[in-house]
Structure 1
Amino acid sequence: MTHDLKGGAAFAVAAAAAFAAMGAMIKFAAADLPNTVVVFLRNGFGLLMLAPWLLRPGLRGLATRRPLAHLLRAAVGLSAMYCFFYAIAHLHLANAVLFNYSQPLFIPFIAWLWLSEKPPARLFPAVAIGFAGVALILKPDTGLVSPAGLVGLASGLLAATAMVAIRRMADTEPTTRIVFYFTVFGTLISAAPAAVTWQWPGRDAWLAMAAAGAFATAGQLLLTRAYTLAPAAHVGSLIYAAVVFAAGFGWLFWGEVPDALDALGTALVILAGVIVVFARRRQDK
């Protein structure tokens, strides 16, 4: 296995920038389009852009004996996407991205309940720190808890569940097959609510959604490359740079400036996420 920490770090940070740019494009499009249409277009453009890579193994390589497992993973992942995009439209971009990236705080407990993988005791203080950071961002004591904030946090919980579902399938299903079925099922399932609430995008919205698909595809490919060059713990910790890039985009395009509680909460969640990523990597070893 190759160990190029500098190269892996560079690709991971580039992936983080691409994912943050995707979020910014979603926020642009969400100003004019219903959430259902945004989710459908994101999946549709993603399917078009990933098709050459996904079809490379041929139809035989995409055959599966676990269609229900793929359908469950797609349903949970798609639900996370609906929540994430709603949060992007109604919160500061950096907060929405951070809530979605809170998934490492949930994964140990979901894996414990679903896969009987008991987390080590040293994870619990880190998780407590992370949820303290989430509480600071939600601001429950000030009465400023918003439905959008709770939906954003739900996106992290659902994304964590989707990650555990992938782990559950990894014994028989390769990455290409998992991505293929998620993309196909996600496009097909999201087409129904999009048809009910359909609104034709304007030129700018079309361009924003096409760019969102391009950035998401670039981010996935860059992140895959990063994982081939450096240990997973290092790559997983650097992906939090997406929050920093999202804060920059939010300030540049929408004048979003975090308050002191947002900044402290963000720092705590990122610290906790990094600790959890490294701790779980040692446990997997």
Structure 2
Amino acid sequence: MSTTPSKPMAALWMAGWLSLMLVMAVAGREATRELNVFELMEVRSLLGFLLLYPLIHRSGGFSALGTSRLPQHIARNLIHYGAQLGWFFALTLIPIGQVVAIEFTMPIWTAILAASFLGEHLTLGKLTAIVLGIIGVAIIVRPATGEINPGQLIALGAAVGFGVSMALVKSLTRTESALAIIFWMLVVQSTAGLLPTLYTWTWPSAYGWGLMVVIAICGTYSHYCLANAMRYADATVVVPMDFLRVPLTATAGWLLYAERLDAFTVLGAGLILTGNLLNLKASEAAASRSALKRPADQPVKL
């Protein structure tokens, strides 16, 4: 089904994405005050099945979700599970704005891995994003000072894990539907987290249950908003809107937790986001040149 391009509609869907991601970051910070991360992740995955079931039913039931690439699903989702654990744990150690700033290095690791294992080319735009991203991380973490916060390293490890996961998703999308990828993500992650959750389980309060429901809803439907934004506008329009997550989460951290971002974090985040933006612009220009070189369609032979 084709969709008429509309930047206002894309912006509206991105507002939903940004709002849900912001709420999830704050709810994650609050939930980890009471609950361990394994428990939080397990309940989120189980609730995800309930949220996903209407889409599964509409697509023809579970028979449409069979796969011949189960080992790839398992590998991808174990890595993604570890990255999510790290992301939620980092929220308890460093300002939420800093977690999100470091998270935006994910495209760097995705580009490197896609070039190494999927045969994609490292263009000038991608190389620029990689260089600026690495410099940005170095400015935020500042290893030369000898005062590296473990939370920064955990957030960086989570970003690398998300990058590996994204590269594996790009491979899976060649044969698997988006619904199947999400379904097997829930299966693998709920299975992986079952024993640690049972071992560390503490019964949540009503407030804790409410936070986990909020996290599950935000984590599921935020991606629905993002997918719809992509239907109404190109990535070069949509992705820069996502950069607003850095100042928005930093503002939320300041208002709710009196967290302040230092000048180094602001500068590092700026370099990371600039690199991503330049890569998007370069990719758009390359796509335009490719379209201009494409020969005109041949007349249909009857």
TM-score by length of 2: 0.88
The letter for the 2-side match of 1:14 is G
**Maintained 8 Å contact 2:101/2:269:** yes
Residue 251 of structure 1 and its aligned partner are, at CA, apart by: 1.3
Cα distance 1:183–1:266, how it changes in 2: closer, same or farther (>3 A)?
A: same
Q: Establish whether residue 24 from structure 1 lines up as the match of residue 30 from structure 2.
A: no
- 1:89 match: secondary structure: coil
- Highest Rg: 1 or 2? 2
Name the CA distance, whole Å, in 1 between partners of 2:279 and 2:23.
26
Matched, 1:162 2:165: yes
**Aligned-partner SS, 2:193:** helix
C-alpha distance in structure 2 between counterparts of 1:60 and 1:123, whole Å? 39
Question: After the TM superposition, which residues 170-209 of structure 1 pair with which residues of structure 2 at under 5 Å, given as runs?
Answer: 170-209=173-212
Cα root mean square deviation, aligned: 1.8
What's 2:85 paired with?
82
Which stretch shows the higher mean deviation, 68-77 or 42-51? 42-51
Q: Does the aligned pair in 2 maintain the 1:42–1:213 contact within 8 Å?
A: yes
Q: 1:133 touches 1:267 (CA, 8 Å); kept in 2?
A: yes
Aligned to 2:149: 146
Could you give the per-residue CA deviations for residues 150-178 of structure 1, whole angstroms, max 9, x where no partner exists?
11011111111111111111121011111
Q: State how far apart, in whole Å, the 1-side matches of 2:181 and 2:220 are.
A: 15
Are residues 1:237 and 2:215 paired? no
Aligned residues: 285
Once the two structures are superposed, residues 257-276 of structure 1 have per-residue CA deviations (whole angstroms, 9 ceiling, x without a partner) of 11111111111111122223
CA drift of 1:250 comes to 1.0
Q: 1:128 matched to which residue of 2? A: 131
Alignment match of 1:13 (pick from 12, 15, 18): 15
Structure 1 residues 277 and 198: alpha-carbon distance in aligned structure 2, compared to 1, 3 A threshold: farther
Query: Residues 143 and 208 from structure 1, CA distance in 2 versus in 1: closer, same or farther, beyond 3 angstroms?
Result: same
Deviation at 1:149, TM superposition (A): 0.7
Number of the residue aligned with 2:42: 40
CA contact (8 A) 1:11 1:223 kept: yes
What does residue 114 of structure 1 align with?
A: 117
- Structure 1 residue 190 displacement after superposition: 1.3
The match for 1:91 is 94
2:110 is paired with a residue of what secondary structure? helix
Query: Quick one: structure 1 residues 170 and 150, their matched pair in 2 at CA, closer, same or farther if it must change by over 3 Å?
Result: same
Q: Where does structure 2 lack aligned partners over 5 or more consecutive residues?
A: 291-302
**4+ residue segments displaced more than 3 Å:** 277-285
TM-score normalised to the size of structure 1? Answer: 0.93
Asked if the contact 2:76–2:165 (Cα under 8 Å) also holds between the matched residues in 1, the reply is yes
Equivalent residue, structure 2, for 1:258: 261
- 2:69 is matched with which residue? 66
Measured in 1, the distance between the counterparts of 2:32 and 2:258 equals 17
What SS is found at the alignment partner of 1:47? helix
Structure 2 partner of 1:228: 231
Structure 1 CA distance, aligned partners of 2:252 and 2:26? 7
Measured against aligned partners, the alpha-carbon deviations of 1:85-113 in whole angstroms (never above 9, x if no partner) come to 11112110111122222211111110011
- Comparing 79-88 with 228-237, greater Cα deviation is found at 228-237
Aligned residue for 2:220?
217
Greater Cα offset, 157-166 or 64-73 = 64-73
Aligned amino acid, residue 271 of structure 2: L
1:137 matched to 2:140? The reply is yes
